[in-house]
Chains A and B, each alone.
Chain A
Amino acid sequence: MNEPPESDAALVARCRAGEQAAWSELVERFSRYVYAITVRGFRLSETDAEDVFQEVFARTYEHLDRLRDDAAIRPWLAQTARRCCIDRIRASGREEPTDLELGTEESEEQIARLDEAMDVRAALDELPEHCREILDGFFACDESYRSIGDRLGLPAGTIASRISRCLAKMREILEGRKVSSAASGELR
C-alpha cells in the first residue's frame, strides 16, 4: 500500500509559499470535485461549467492568503463553487432557476455525496498503482475491460477479478480509518 497523500493543509501551505508544483497538485486533487459540483450538483451546461470551474480556481488562488483554516480548503471550494453556479444560473437570463439549481436540500445532498466520494478517492490514492488505474479506469472513466487490459498489459479476462480484489483492499483502508478515528475520539 502507498503512504497516505499529503494533507490538504500542508498542500495549501506550499501553494501559499508560491510553489507552482503544489498549485498544480491542488488543482489536480480537487478538479473532479469542482467539476462534479458544476455538472452534477447544479447541472450546468458544459460551457457554463467550464467558466465556473475556472472562476472557482481563480478565486481560490486569489484568496489563498485569506483562508482561515488551510485544512478546510475543500468546504471552501464547495462553497465558492455553489456561489459561482448560482450566480451563473441567475445571470444566464434563461427561465426562472429551480430550487434545485439554487442550492436547496437536494443539491446539498448531492454535494454531501460528492464529499463522501472524495473520501473514497483519497483511499484510492493509498492503493497500489495497478489498483488505482483499474478502479479509476473502470468506474470513473467508463473504460472497458479490454481497454484497461490493453493499457496495463493484462489479459482482459482478469480485470473483473482484479476489480473485486482492489475494492476489497480499498474497503480495508476505509474501515481501518473508521476504527482509528473512533479510537482517537474523532467519532462521537
Chain B
Amino acid sequence: MTRYDEQSLAELLALLPPAPTAWVRAAQELPLLEKGLGEVLERAETDVEFRARLIADLEAALEAEGYDADPAVVEALRARLDDA
C-alpha cells in the first residue's frame, strides 16, 4: 500500500503532464467530424475566399453554402478560427 507522503505525491503528480492542447482538442472533436466539421475545415484550408467568409460571419457563411451545422460544430469552428 502506498504511503502518501509529500515526496510520493509529488512524484505521482509529475507522472501525468498535460497532453499537447492540439491533440486533446482533435480528440474532443472526433464526434463532430461526422457532423460536418471535417468537411468544412478541409474546405476552409484550400478555399481562401470561403475561409474569409467564415471568419467574417461564420453562421451566415455556413448557411449560404447549405451547411446545416450542429451548434457544437459551429462552436468548434469558431474556436479554430479564433485561434488561427
Contacts and interface: CB of A to CB of B under 8 A. Distances in A.
A133 to B, nearest CB: 13
B15 A28 contact: no
Contacts of A31: 18-19, 23-24, 27
A140 B4 contact: no
Contacts of A141: 17-18
Interface residues of B, number: 25
Contacts of B20: 35, 50
Nearest to B35: A20
A18 B30 CA distance: 12
A132 B63 CA distance: 42
Interface residues of A, number: 40
A139 B9 CA distance: 9
Given A31-B27, A34-B19, A61-B30, A178 B1 contact: yes
B53 to A, nearest CB: 25
Given A20-B72, A31-B24, A164-B6, A117 B30 contact: no
A9 to B, nearest CB: 19
B1 A120 contact: no
Nearest to B19: A35
A61 to B, nearest CB: 5
A164 B6 CA distance: 8
Given A32-B17, A32-B19, A114-B15, A167 B10 contact: yes
Q: Which 4 A-B pairs have the closest CB atoms?
A: A35-B19, A139-B13, A57-B27, A32-B16
30 contacts: A20-B31, A27-B24, A27-B27, A27-B28, A28-B24, A31-B18, A31-B23, A32-B17, A32-B19, A33-B16, A35-B18, A35-B23, A36-B17, A50-B23, A54-B27, A57-B27, A58-B30, A61-B31, A113-B15, A114-B16, A117-B16, A120-B4, A120-B13, A136-B13, A139-B13, A140-B14, A167-B9, A167-B10, A170-B9, A171-B4
Interface of A: 18, 20, 23-24, 27-28, 31-36, 40, 50, 53-54, 57-58, 61, 113-114, 116-118, 120-121, 124, 135-136, 139-142, 164, 167, 170-171, 174-175, 178
